[in-house]
Amino acid sequence: MEKLFGKSRAVVGVVHLLPLPGSPGYRGMEAVRERALRDALALYSGGVDALLFENYGDLPFVPRRVESHVVACMSSVIEHVKREVSLPFGVNVLRNDAISALAVASATGGSFIRVNVHAGVRVAGEGILTGRAHETLRYRERLKSGVMIFADIAVKHSAPLVELTLEEEIEANVSRGCADGIILTGRRTGEPPEPERVAEARRACTRWVLVGSGVTPENAPALLEHAHGCIVGTWFREGRLQEEVSRRRVAELVEAVRSLG
């Protein structure tokens, strides 16, 4: 974790992209680039250790492979931000396109990707999301890429087809799915997982454990006691995704996490 993020306990700030071409609400690429840069600068100046670029504005999300222009547009935006912000970064192509995320991250110098369903099957608003760990790992090998794979465990805004224990989910994603780390979330955006669940995951997982939703300065000590870091998005935006990132909130959370040692 220290090699990847420069800290033993990392804060990853999410850059939620405005709608890309073809999505409802698209207002042009210049608006997408300008907003992404402003948010990235606020995250950087507030002290985060890394960024995570997501095409969050592309509602409703495509359940599987996105169109080629999404890959091109995300790569273009990331290159634009990189000129001003020097931080490690990752890519998440929603709703569950690990192949495109790997392509973008590998082409732009990203360090990791987030995959909502890496192994197994989940039911979500987009339909049935199927993990394709076999494709993702083989594609990474073809690219000769060092990009790390962080897999969500029982990702938010979804439900299981078959109930599995946390240990079974981790085994499917890490031991059998070869993910480099896992992400734990609550049931929905802004909702944290139970601290006991994070502790259980840390005991069961031999790789990195990140908390992917609901972290605030108040609950950071409990949630991050057994985690290697957190991914934070909506809290930095006053809890409203339409708002821009608040540098004050970023600094407040970063300070709380740094105080944990």
Phi, psi of 191 (to 5 degrees): -100, 125
Question: From CA 89, how far away is CA 188, in angstroms rounded?
Answer: 23
pTM of the model: 0.97
Residue 17 has pLDDT above 90, yes or no: yes
Residue found by looking up tokens 């802004």 in the block: 190
pLDDT reported for residue 2: 80
pLDDT reported for residue 239: 77
Average pLDDT over residues 84-103: 98
The tally of domains found in the chain comes to 1
pLDDT reported for residue 57: 96
- Domain assignment of residue 48, given as a range: 2-258
Is the preceding omega at residue 19 within 30 degrees of 0, hence cis?
no
pLDDT reported for residue 261: 79
Cβ pair 54, 12 in contact under 8 A? no
Ramachandran region, residue 12 (left: φ > 0; alpha: ψ -120 to 50; beta: rest): beta
3-state secondary structure of 144: coil
pLDDT reported for residue 242: 83
Average pLDDT over residues 65-89: 98
Question: From CA 118, how far away is CA 247, in angstroms rounded?
Answer: 32
Half-sphere exposure of 155 (CA within 13 A, CB side): 25
Question: From CA 28, how far away is CA 22, in angstroms rounded?
Answer: 10
Nearest of 156, 157, 165, 158 to residue 183 by alpha carbon: 156
Integer angstrom CA distances of residue 176 from 43, 118, 165, 179: 35, 11, 15, 8
The set of residues, in sequence order, having a beta carbon less than 8 Å from that of 240 and lying 6+ positions away, is 234
237-261: per-residue pLDDT in tens? 987 878 999 999 999 999 999 999 7
3-state secondary structure of 50: strand
CB atoms within 10 A of CB 125: 12
Tokens standing for 233?
């998005």
Residue 28 has pLDDT above 80, yes or no: yes
CB atoms within 10 A of CB 261: 6
Burial class (CB in 10 A: 0-12, 13-18, 19+), 199: middle
CA 82 to chain centre: 18
- Mean per-residue pLDDT of the chain: 96
CATH number at residue 158: 3.20.20.70
pLDDT reported for residue 86: 96
Cβ pair 14, 232 in contact under 8 A? yes
